[in-house]
Amino acid sequence: PFFAAISALRVGADLSHVFCTRDAATVIKTYSPELIVHPYLLESSSMPQGGGKVPVDAETVTQVADKVSQWMSRLDVLVVGPGLGRDHLLLECVTEIIKRAKDANLPLIIDADGLFLVNLNPNLVAGYK
């Protein structure tokens, strides 16, 4: 997510927010103080049950999506995919975030593992303009 965010700044964006996992946030913050980093996303390995295939809890997904959604009114576009990975809990959280972005009519740029997510569920973006 760092390269997508810093590239936006370099081509003229005033602000660039990065929504990522806690582990990634620390590293991204050390690369550039110009980025606004929000460590809201969760991976299975960050859950109390430990790594592996942790059951997806709808309440957890909702809480993560709520945290990101509160910023959507301040965003001009949402980039999904670079640095995303394929952790099933993280993908569930991002699926909900994409749905909320669509509801808010927020333009989406989907790349990298975001395309993997859309391939799993094409209805996620079907008909969205």
Per residue in 49-105, pLDDT (tens digit) is 655 566 788 999 999 999 999 999 999 999 999 999 999 999 999 999 999 999 999
pLDDT at 129 over 80: yes
Contact (CB, 8 A) for 115 and 34: no
Please name the helix (run of DSSP H) or strand (run of DSSP E) that holds residue 78, with its range, or none: strand 78-80
Handedness of CA 19, 112, 93, 99 (dihedral sign): positive
- Quick one: pLDDT at residue 86? 94
- Quick one: pLDDT at residue 59? 95
Q: CB-based contacts of 96: which residues, under 8 Å, 6+ apart?
A: 61, 62, 64, 65
Task: Compute the radius of gyration of the chain from its Cα atoms.
Answer: 14
pLDDT at 114 over 90: yes
- Quick one: pLDDT at residue 53? 61
Cα 36 to Cα 96: distance, rounded to the nearest angstrom = 22
Contact (CB, 8 A) for 80 and 113: no
- Quick one: pLDDT at residue 115? 98
Of the given ranges (3-17, 25-39, 46-60, 78-92), which has the lowest mean pLDDT? 46-60
Cα 33 to Cα 85: distance, rounded to the nearest angstrom = 24
Pairing of strands 78-80, 36-41: unpaired
- Quick one: pLDDT at residue 2? 95
Tell me the percentage of the chain whose pLDDT exceeds 70: 95
3-state secondary structure of 22: helix
